[in-house]
Structure 1
């Protein structure tokens, strides 16, 4: 289902999730909501070493992970600190909780909005996609991305609008953008992520770890 191009730093983990009902009918568990508040305790915690290693991972292909192009995990830290991170849906909220505490960027896409086969690799110059409902684009050149048959669909900075989850989503693919500089961290975060989803009634299946 997923192939990964050779990369000296990437240590990705990926799994699929099937929810018992459309996301619009599922309430995010309180245990996950608590994780999205300032000062919450969790099995994993991030520090400056994690932040630096993640930036090095995204920087490898020539991308500059700074400013508005910083890793999504860094955005979450700031948003929670400012009290600006609202609930979206059970899939995204759980993804955000694990990303926040592990320090790893995580992508989650709607499998029914994407087209197999899937591949992880570095985007070429000129590749871009719309990442929000307003039509804003991100230049993907040099950035590690998840690709489907139609092109790039997600990465550790901003996921594509075309494959984002929505109220009708029933199946997702999650990718944890781990690095060999933090050996085993992506696998550990993925296991915790899957437990949280399964506690909410979803079923998960490992794709790679």
Structure 2
């Protein structure tokens, strides 16, 4: 066995297996495909420096046990905030979803094949014509994941429970949204 194959196998076996963001649908919604295509092209975030410092300090403290490296933690929080703001999402909802999906493991792979922090299904990179996108890249993964969640929140008319179930591919079931909502309530909104 070649050295690279051994390393790849070792990496695959050491990466935590987590929940799938969504199963591959029978047909892809063209509006979601357009939203992802457009999202890959743009970005923006905090209204002022004070707001940024307060939010980043608060969320950094909450995230420190899951992401001990302060540089990685700050980069992650800034990117989560920017991508959530771009998609019109609450960044703390995104943090709760990441906690449930991957426990903040950038190289997480689900049993269904979903990848990265937000556990995005890889068929999307081909579906929107971006085969060189890397779903283990933090920026790319958050751009895709936030766009998908925002789209589902929109088609569910703001119903977060149903949007989360769609995101996970478990519409009609409540175990997944309950996990995200518990993480949101106990870690990201708790005072």
TM-score, normalised by the number of residues in structure 1: 0.32
The answer to which structure, 1 or 2, has the higher relative contact order (CA under 8 A, 6+ apart) is 1
Higher relative strand content: 1
Higher relative helix content: 2
